[in-house]
Structure 1
Amino acid sequence: MATPASDDDVLLPPDDDATAAEFEAFDRFPWSKHRAFLLGLLETLGGADGLSPNPTHQGSTTFCRTVFYRRQTGRRIDLTRYNGFLAASPDYPSIDRRLLAALYAAKRAATTAEAAAALRIVETVAAGPAINPFDGTATPHDDAVPSWQRSAPKNELRVPRAAAAADEAAGASAANGEAPYSDKFAKVIEAVQTGKELEGIRHIPDTVVRQEGITPLGKLKPPKKPWETAAAPTASLASALAFGAPITTESGHSLLVDLHFPPPPEQSGPVQSEVGQ
């Protein structure tokens, strides 16, 4: 028998104002004053030895905060929605980067032995003022974002009206179950439907006209046959085949034509049949 889903399994999407208030309360939590959280975060980041700027530390810090926040307050923060909220709000102050900056600074200032380095770092951060991302202090830059991208304008790029209209038409055709056509293919469809000639089509005539100077007969002389000893004119060769007379050329040389195949070679001994042996 299926059991009804609990409140933790079903998450209804709240409105924008409720989401912003929820995430702001989550970020205003006094994270820098909870030593247990700082110690757990430090171990998650690889201990004191691994406490150096790393692009993956910000995501790990956010995850650790969601786990610790639920244990302390009983409120669940959807990590996917929170990351989407941060991506949609580039000017929103980041508590994660400020916590990491404080830990990095405490690591550089620590001079004790390696065994007590983690506790020393946590005590240094906890003894300082509470980190409030909304106090107007500048948030450290994200090391994973290049400097040129940080200085890029945050407003949306202007889209031409013609391109926007084309996108709307393509979206409407896709919504109706039709695949959007390219401009060239749309012109072909229009030409076929209206009976117009297609652009770039080359008309080929049905008849073949031979060019002057080209004949279907070759100009080379036929090669000699195996039984011919020399080349001969066609008329003389025909007469020689008909009467068996030798052919005499204009220079006085006689040409011989073999009218029969040569006899087979003589065998040296009697041929014995292998049938019946």
Structure 2
Amino acid sequence: METAPVPSTIAPEAGPEDFQRFHEYRWDLDVEFLKGVVLACGGLNALERTGSKAEIILHSRIFYFARLAGVSMPYVGYKRWLRDNRQFKPVDWNLLDLLCDKKDAQLSRRAPPAGSAGSISISRDSPEAQREKDAWFHELYDGGLFDPPAAVQEQLSAAVPSWQAAAPKGDLYVDHRGSAGVEKGKDEGGAPYPERFAQIIEAIQSGKPVEGIQEIPNNIARNPDTTPFGKMAAPKKPWERSSAEAKSAAPDYTTIDKSFPDAEPEH
């Protein structure tokens, strides 16, 4: 399935038509999203029918939709939209049931080893699961509308002095292009380079040799007095054989060149 590229800037806020589009998206058919939800919940074995897992799914949907559609879905705004449009039922618990059923099907095919964390989820029809579901729905429809990021932002805003809040806002970015001149080491309105540094830059850009830098050739000239064999005989070790034995056993070096070959001409 082809997805939209990740936006490079903050996604715009969702409009009225985006809430229904976000709600009616086929989350149960998006394999990439479901895999991400399983990881966000702590893995397949950690899935369970609880309100906290349903909240993780809701936040995962908001995050994924911003990447998919380039629209930032407000957490509180979506909950308020659900309260105003009761004909649209929340899908988060249904997705949780779907994933828990998948987990139970896998565990039933292979018995988990003793002491492992994997265990069959509580049944969707059990009283415990029903209590968790009712509590989550009650909080969704009748609980307080609390947006943690917004609340933190309000606290930060309250701590900012009035004079600072009224100050003009600007990006913390300095354009260095004005001082990175390429002609004579300077640009209009920019600070010039040091003269020596500007000369080096100009020489490199024009392909000229840089003053003070020695050119090293590819082939190094050899000293004609240097040969592959030394002029002095190496002293014998105490455990070495006599000179007669060593001479008779010595290999024949007559085929070895007595001097280095001439250097190849430089192309």
State the structure with more CA Rg. 1
Tell me the TM-score normalised to structure 1 length.
0.35
Tell me the TM-score normalised to structure 2 length.
0.36
